[in-house]
Structure 1
Amino acid sequence: MHEDVEHCVRAVQSKDARFDGWFFTAVLTTGIYCRPSCPVVPPKPENMRFYPSAAAAQQAGFRACKRCRPDASPGSPLWNERADVVARAMRLIADGVVDREGVAGVSTRLGYSTRQLQRQLLAELGAGPLALARAQRAQTARVLLETSSVPMGDVAFAAGFASVRSFNETVREVFHRTPTEVRTRAARGHPATTPGTLVLRLPFRQPFCPDNLFGHLVATAVPGVEEWRDGAYRRTLRLPHGHGIVALRPLPDYVDCRLTLTNLRDLSTAISRCRWLLDLDADPVAVDDLLRADPVLAPVVNKDVGRRVPRTVDPVEFAVRAVLGQQVSTSAARTLAARLVTAHGEPVADPAGGLTHLFPDPATLASLDPEQLAMPRSRRATLTSLIAALTGGELDLSVGSDWQRARGELAALPGFGPWTIETIAMRALGDPDAFIPTDLGIRRAAESLGLPTTPAGLTARSAVWSPWRAYAVQYLWSTGDHAVNRLPD
């Protein structure tokens, strides 16, 4: 995108917010870089330079604009849409793997050498993995500076910096302010928040339809792990350095996010996982334009534009819940999951609500006696085989996984049919083209719209919706009268 200079210039001159995160505009005369939608008067085209990432603009010597805050813009949809090595690497970097495992850890997960990974990221993004992680650390630092009273030294290490000196230098370089100046400026006119709670805004591209997104999460919520309270979806989070509780409330221009963490080093990862959960980096215009090109889907799309795919903060948790939900109602699946959580989940304290546990991790689940699980023997075998594959390293469902390889690994396990595999691919792996033609709700929607109802016929008909069939699923589900389609009262 950034190489199409004419297209980029037009987007900047029209202040088109749809392109925020797709590319960044650097201005030679001011030394700053901006979002395409920056509210200032657009510079002359000859003074513009375009970069594919904030990290590349920073490496070129430009600092972030104080008006439009380009470092806090929605992420590029490319890293959610694509399944190649660069996209997988970006998802892992966003999840904090560079800070926890180094560049070598990302390379190992992808099956590439560090040099090969560096070369591919530089070629496409103009910055290597360390520079990309550094840009993410700077944004995490700004969130902590602006939303908390955490001491400067703690902010530095919580954001992932190796020293206070590197923290100070990076903040001054990226934001053209000292950390103290960033905090002081943000504090003006801002009311105090609950102690220990970080309050931030999660931006997204318009249009945005929260109905199915939050409706689905709440309708399938596991008691003790998830709840709807005071207009917000709340849940517990299992994070690399501890745990957290998040409350996510949909608002017209952003999602209000309130995080409580036991370890501030998890902030960047928690934000990334919440964005992934709500599919906030999607490009709804591109999705809806393609789907409404089908005259059968057009009226359904136009009724509620901007639907997202509800995902998960924990792919392993979702895979386990998908097995628990095989061939039973939503209510029954919630009951089974709640029993598992109550008996084997890790207890947490939630003074602000009714959350009680973290969902059990694979190691805990591996120690269970299968005979104690109140489900048919065949489904117990499916669950135990899934847990064994996860704990044994034979199955990778992480954000950096290869979608097709994961499908094959799941298919090799007993009891994993097309419905379970594609549901996991859609909501846990994040494949935007995952499709579940055997789902009862999809088949009913197909019948009501005059589409083929057999799995083979509907799959063939869905080819025109590719690569956005997971979004087509959301629109097809919307034709039914079900709680997953409505914001809770």
Structure 2
Amino acid sequence: MGSFEGVVTTGIYCLPPCPGRPRAENVVPFTSAAGAEAAGFRACHRCRPYRSDRKPTSASELVCRAIDLIAVGVLDEGNEAELAARLAVSERHLRRMFHEQVGATPDQLARSRRAHFARRLLDDTDLSVTDIAFAAGFGSLRQFNRVMVAIFRATPVELRKRRRRADRLVADGGLALRVPVAEGTNIERRLAQLARSAIAGVESVTSTRYRRTIDMDGDPGVIEIYSAATDAALLLVHVPHIEGLIHLVSRVQRLLAGEPWDPFENDIRGVVSDSDALDDLVAAYGKPVGGLEQFGLSYLFPTPTMLADYPSGLDAIGAQAILTALVH
């Protein structure tokens, strides 16, 4: 049984269990929403599968790595040949693996991800259609409209009119978003893990909320994560611009799944195991961020470039971290 179900008599696909309960003989399984869309099915209006973020459960390691690269934006400006080269396989082989395991090409998967993220923004926020297009990673408003009509059979303006009264999220400052999480994710437990390893000035964690400073294309910002429901977290974003917001949300999803926020930061944490020394390192070499003292936040975690500007900072970390930074 696939993660999604296409109903041949209606031309829609659902996320089981759907309230519509189609007859079993009319159901075709799909491993991904992109696969159902590539086969010509459109998303169900009742169970709204675009609000989920399920990945193919039986995909190979190669396909999973490709999906992770797509999630961080490799296909936003690149192409399938470049994606295949990064994975050390031919483009033809990569496409064949995707057809077999995902039911769609890498480009179709990337397009589906952008469209689903945009649909959630249309539901949850009051952002303009133009802002949503670029937040979701589309290259132009024309491309955005074309893709949304192809996948949802309606324009972005029409889709916004269909949102439910309870969908709209309103926050006192910042942009509020629902973030789908993997099935079985315990957000409260993950917040407790983050609290035990929080870096002073960079992260602030309570039993119900995680805050941290982030770098958004060279500009500082802040994210706040709350526990919202069993299948979603509530994310409050404070950033100077929202272009590429889809990739920031992907990083939040990986963080909630137990992965590090940043590979370089994670490597430094592994080398500087003493929490007080790590706090001192951030205070000495991190980029100051003003106006957030009331939240316990005051620095961006230092990047490799920041540390390279201060040789004493590299000496404090040690040779292993320097080599690791060069690798990344």
Give yes or no for TM over 0.5: yes
**Percent pairwise identity:** 35
Q: Name the SS of the counterpart of 1:247 in structure 2.
A: strand
2:141 matched to which residue of 1? 164
Alignment of 1:312-331 (within 5 A): 312-325=260-273
- Counterpart CA distance in 1 for 2:220 and 2:69 is 19
Q: Among 291, 302, 308, which residue is 1:360 paired with?
A: 302
Instruction: Please give the TM-score of this superposition, normalised by the length of structure 2.
Output: 0.88
Q: Among 8, 14, 17, which residue is 1:37 paired with?
A: 17
- Counterpart CA distance in 2 for 1:83 and 1:356 is 42
2:203 matched to which residue of 1? 226
Q: Which amino acid aligns with 2:52?
A: S
Query: Cα distance 1:363–1:83, how it changes in 2: closer, same or farther (>3 A)?
Result: farther
Alignment of 1:24-423 (within 5 A): 24-40=4-20, 42-76=21-55, 78=57, 84-186=61-163, 188=165, 190=168, 192-206=170-184, 208-229=185-206, 231-239=208-216, 244-253=221-230, 254-279=232-257, 310-325=258-273, 333-349=274-290, 351=292, 353-370=295-312, 373-374=315-316, 380-390=318-328
Q: Which amino acid aligns with 2:54?
A: G
Higher Rg = 1
- Counterpart CA distance in 1 for 2:306 and 2:106 is 33
Task: Structure 2: give runs of 5+ residues left out of the alignment.
Answer: none
Would you say the 8 A contact 2:14–2:44 is kept in 1? yes
1:476 matched to which residue of 2? none
- Counterpart CA distance in 2 for 1:233 and 1:319 is 21
Q: Which amino acid aligns with 2:286?
A: G
Q: Which amino acid aligns with 2:34?
A: A
Offset at residue 102 of structure 1 (A)? 3.4
Would you say the 8 A contact 2:188–2:207 is kept in 1? no
Offset at residue 141 of structure 1 (A)? 1.1
Per-residue CA deviations over 1:377-415 (Å, capped at 9, x if unaligned) read xx622222322333xxxxxxxxxxxxxxxxxxxxxxxxx
Would you say the 8 A contact 1:197–1:260 is kept in 2? yes
Per-residue CA deviations over 1:237-262 (Å, capped at 9, x if unaligned) read 33557554221122452322222233
Comparing 113-122 with 233-242, greater Cα deviation is found at 233-242
Q: Which amino acid aligns with 1:112?
A: V
Q: Which amino acid aligns with 1:321?
A: R
Q: Size of the alignment, in residue pairs? A: 325
Structure with more helix by fraction: 1
Q: Name the SS of the counterpart of 2:176 in structure 1.
A: strand
Offset at residue 64 of structure 1 (A)? 0.8
Query: Cα distance 1:348–1:65, how it changes in 2: closer, same or farther (>3 A)?
Result: farther
Would you say the 8 A contact 2:191–2:206 is kept in 1? no
Task: Structure 1: give runs of 5+ residues left out of the alignment.
Answer: 1-7, 9-21, 280-309, 326-332, 391-489
- Counterpart CA distance in 1 for 2:228 and 2:135 is 28
Alignment of 1:443-482 (within 5 A): none
* RMSD of Structure 2 on Structure 1 (CA): 2.6
- Counterpart CA distance in 2 for 1:367 and 1:39 is 58
Offset at residue 353 of structure 1 (A)? 2.5
Would you say the 8 A contact 1:32–1:62 is kept in 2? yes
Q: Name the SS of the counterpart of 1:386 in structure 2.
A: helix
Per-residue CA deviations over 1:419-472 (Å, capped at 9, x if unaligned) read xxxxxxxxxxxxxxxxxxxxxxxxxxxxxxxxxxxxxxxxxxxxxxxxxxxxxx
- Counterpart CA distance in 2 for 1:121 and 1:242 is 36
Offset at residue 191 of structure 1 (A)? 5.7
Q: Which amino acid aligns with 2:10?
A: T
- Counterpart CA distance in 2 for 1:387 and 1:110 is 21
1:439 matched to which residue of 2? none
Would you say the 8 A contact 1:370–1:384 is kept in 2? no
Offset at residue 140 of structure 1 (A)? 1.8
Would you say the 8 A contact 1:198–1:260 is kept in 2? no
Q: Which amino acid aligns with 1:311?
A: E
Query: Cα distance 1:195–1:210, how it changes in 2: closer, same or farther (>3 A)?
Result: closer
Offset at residue 272 of structure 1 (A)? 1.4
- Counterpart CA distance in 2 for 1:136 and 1:240 is 21
Q: Which amino acid aligns with 1:320?
A: I
Instruction: Please give the TM-score of this superposition, normalised by the length of structure 1.
Output: 0.61
Per-residue CA deviations over 1:307-338 (Å, capped at 9, x if unaligned) read xxx3212112101111111xxxxxxx222222
Q: Which amino acid aligns with 1:266?
A: G
- Counterpart CA distance in 1 for 2:122 and 2:314 is 48
Would you say the 8 A contact 1:199–1:257 is kept in 2? yes
Would you say the 8 A contact 1:25–1:49 is kept in 2? yes
Would you say the 8 A contact 1:247–1:257 is kept in 2? yes
Q: Which amino acid aligns with 1:65?
A: C
Offset at residue 210 of structure 1 (A)? 4.1
Query: Cα distance 1:193–1:139, how it changes in 2: closer, same or farther (>3 A)?
Result: same
- Counterpart CA distance in 1 for 2:77 and 2:211 is 26
- Counterpart CA distance in 2 for 1:335 and 1:165 is 51
- Counterpart CA distance in 1 for 2:138 and 2:161 is 21
